[in-house]
Amino acid sequence: MKLALAQLDVTAGDVSANLERAEAAVADAAARGVDLVVLPELFTVGYFAFDSYARESEGLDGPTFGRLADLAADHGVGLLAGSHVEDLEASAATGVDVPATEGLANTCVFYDRDGTRRGVYRKHHLFGYESAETRLLTPGESLATVDFEGFTVGMTTCYDLRFPELYRRLTDRGATLVCVPSAWPYPRVEHWRTLARARAIENLTYVAAANGAATFEDATLLGRSTVYDPWGTALASAGDDPTLVVAEAEPERIEAVREEFPALRDRRDR
């Protein structure tokens, strides 16, 4: 399977312009024969545009999510649209199972090649360090995995990388590729590299970490989107400018690595 990480520039609060960038990136990826495209965290509003969260939020049947579904269908690709601000009350009103009947969530959605919504993940670990996320958003409660092109794709978001137990739970659920839409800022470059690579190594799985490349009033995203293989080797990576990171991932590689180095079999829960 060929996958692409769309490392996007983001304009704070300008959903229309940001969607246009995403659409151009997905079109480029599709032209290159990509099967799955991963978008960054809150690429629609900009992670640090906290004043825009409530104004731009919507239910899963809202126009922004709908536009992303159409984008997947128009280009015939799988799309991990990570992420947008979800209005949980609006989603619940249309029959969607939500962790609360009110509030907002940092939500990524997996759309299949025909635009069907296959999986929904609401960020579990909300960032409290110099961030308004914990005040503005409701954390998710459930894991999300989707079968696609021979992989079981797990979804996490940005700050989740610091909590390895979440990734082990996804491994227990059968995840062989974990996607991590992110908005990771300077100066924590080594944290970004080390944590994503560690999650791949300790779970013997692919990790696709898609970061943004944007400057906000108080922060600059560091880019460096990377696809790691089950050994923790970087298959493709970027600097800090907007770009498309493309790599080949093979489901058979997971089985081969886990057979050669069966660390997961030696695990003891206590």
- The catalytic position among 58, 133, 158, 179 is 158
Please state the pTM of the whole predicted model.
Answer: 0.96
Structural domains in the chain, CATH included, are 2-266 (3.60.110.10)
Sign of CA dihedral 233, 236, 242, 244: negative
Rg of the chain over CA atoms, in angstroms?
Answer: 17
- The catalytic position among 41, 56, 58, 133 is 41
pLDDT confidence of residue 193: 97
Residue 48 and residue 135: Cα distance in Å, rounded?
Answer: 13
- Tell me the mean pLDDT per 10 residues along the chain, length 270: 98 96 98 98 96 97 97 98 96 86 94 98 91 94 97 98 98 98 97 98 98 92 98 98 98 96 86
- 269 is written with which tokens? 């829960």
Is 20 annotated in the active site? no
Residue 39 and residue 106: Cα distance in Å, rounded?
Answer: 13
- 68 is written with which tokens? 């992303």
Is 179 annotated in the active site? no
Residue 3 and residue 154: Cα distance in Å, rounded?
Answer: 14
184: burial class by Cβ within 10 Å (0-12, 13-18, 19+)?
buried
Residue 29 and residue 242: Cα distance in Å, rounded?
Answer: 14
pLDDT confidence of residue 270: 65
- The catalytic position among 86, 123, 133, 179 is 123
Is 255 annotated in the active site? no
Cβ atoms of 24 and 59 closer than 8 Å:
no
Strand partners, 207: 178, 228
Q: Tell me the backbone φ, ψ of residue 185, rounded to 5 degrees.
A: -100, 165
Distances (CA, A) of 205 to 121, 159, 267: 19, 19, 16
pLDDT confidence of residue 209: 98
Closest CA to 45 of 80, 6, 18: 18
